[in-house]
Amino acid sequence: MTGTAIRIAVIGSAGRMGRMLVDVIHRDGGAVLSAVVDRPGSDVVGMDAGELAGIGAVGLPVTDDPATAVAEADVVIDFTLPEATPAVAAACRAAGCALVLGTTGLGPREQRAVENLSEALPVVQAPNYSTGVTLLTALVEQAAAVLGHSVDVEIIEAHHRHKVDAPSGTALHLGEAVAGATGRDLSACAVYGREGHTGPRARQTIGFETIRAGDIVGEHTVLFAGEGERLELTHRASSRATFAAGAVRAAHWVVGRAPGLYNMRDVLGIGGHASGER
């Protein structure tokens, strides 16, 4: 694909990320917005994708036909809902199209659909496409490996009031990073909020605190608290543009790759391959 503009289809045009992706792709000299898709019955179907994104008409109407849209693309970017993931994966498989997936909160059925697709086509799956968050995850792994079980670990995350899943996919991924570096099973040691008389904190647990308020784009802090000192690693996003830019960077990277399940570390080249991010 060197020297050729890649064709990108965006699934979920009415969402905040969908509109931002349309803007970023439209300004990317190496990419072409080939299709923009929203759910059947949506009020935005038929609207110009550029006008919906607030950048002016681009001559591309929003469609509700994902199969046709995917067939005309080199890669699909999907930031929608978990229940839509199997259908998006099926459309990509039928069209032989790569996928960049940013949807979080996937259950076992949805994750299986992604993994099955990755056996035939390249897929980038990440809970967060920010370069800063990807670096944060690597730093968290390093800190957890050094500090081990000598500290208490708490993960605090904040997002806007409209976010529907909690904790965020990024927070869970950071928890997995800590668990993996310290030999723990997150499903067995995670604590999601506390209330009442809880007793002393168990050192092996990994705590999660969730904030939903206003228009917070996204904040994540991993707190390592020991005796006499604490280490806090924090990332704060002030604009969704950073996530959209990262997803488009992943789209450029994944086109033409071998089948497999990749993540943003693969895209950035800063770590080993870790498939199955959720």
> Active-site residues: which are they?
159, 163
Q: In whole angstroms, what is the distance from residue 60 CA to residue 200 CA?
A: 58
Q: In whole angstroms, what is the distance from residue 120 CA to residue 214 CA?
A: 41
Q: In whole angstroms, what is the distance from residue 100 CA to residue 96 CA?
A: 13
Q: In whole angstroms, what is the distance from residue 212 CA to residue 226 CA?
A: 28
Q: 127-136 burial by CB neighbour count: b if 16+ within 10 A, else e?
A: bbbbbebbbb
The CA-CA-CA angle for residues 268, 273, 276, to 5°, reads 110
